[in-house]
Amino acid sequence: MSYVDGFVVPVPVAKLAQYRRMARQCGKIWMEHGALAYTECLADDVKPGKFTSFPQSVKLKPDETVVFSWIVYASRAQRDRITKNVLGDPRMARYMDPKALPFDGKRMFWGGFKTFMDL
């Protein structure tokens, strides 16, 4: 079974083009280092919930939208190796400065997941 890293990011609508350029570059780098898939999705039907929701999880502001993303790897070991290589890739240096990001990284959340079902 595969291993997946998932991300949820609040992105200012005015910076979506900048985010898209960053995501395209990052996706290419991840794929070059061995990721099986790299997907970025823009919120379309994500209303605030009664207790929790995508907008609430990132404390979404009125001028922002939610981006939901994931990267697929063959295994956790592959993910760990690939991520180490990606983070050491000199092309990623520009994205390591939180001030240079087109979103508030403090409200982003992510995690690694073991696949338990794949239909």
Task: Tell me, yes or no, whether 118 lies in a domain.
Answer: no
Residue 47 lies in a domain: yes
Please state, as a whole number, how many other Cβ atoms lie within 10 Å of the Cβ of residue 103: 20
- pTM across the whole model: 0.93
Is pLDDT at 98 greater than 90 in this prediction? no
Q: 38 in a domain, yes or no?
A: yes
Opening angle at CA 81, ends 96 and 98, nearest 5:
10
**Looking at the domain assignment, is residue 103 inside a domain?**
no
Q: Domain range for residue 7?
A: 3-95
Q: How many domains does the chain contain in total?
A: 1
pLDDT in tens, 37-87: 999 999 999 999 999 999 999 999 999 999 999 999 999 999 999 999 999
Q: What is the CATH number of the domain that holds 58?
A: 3.30.70.100
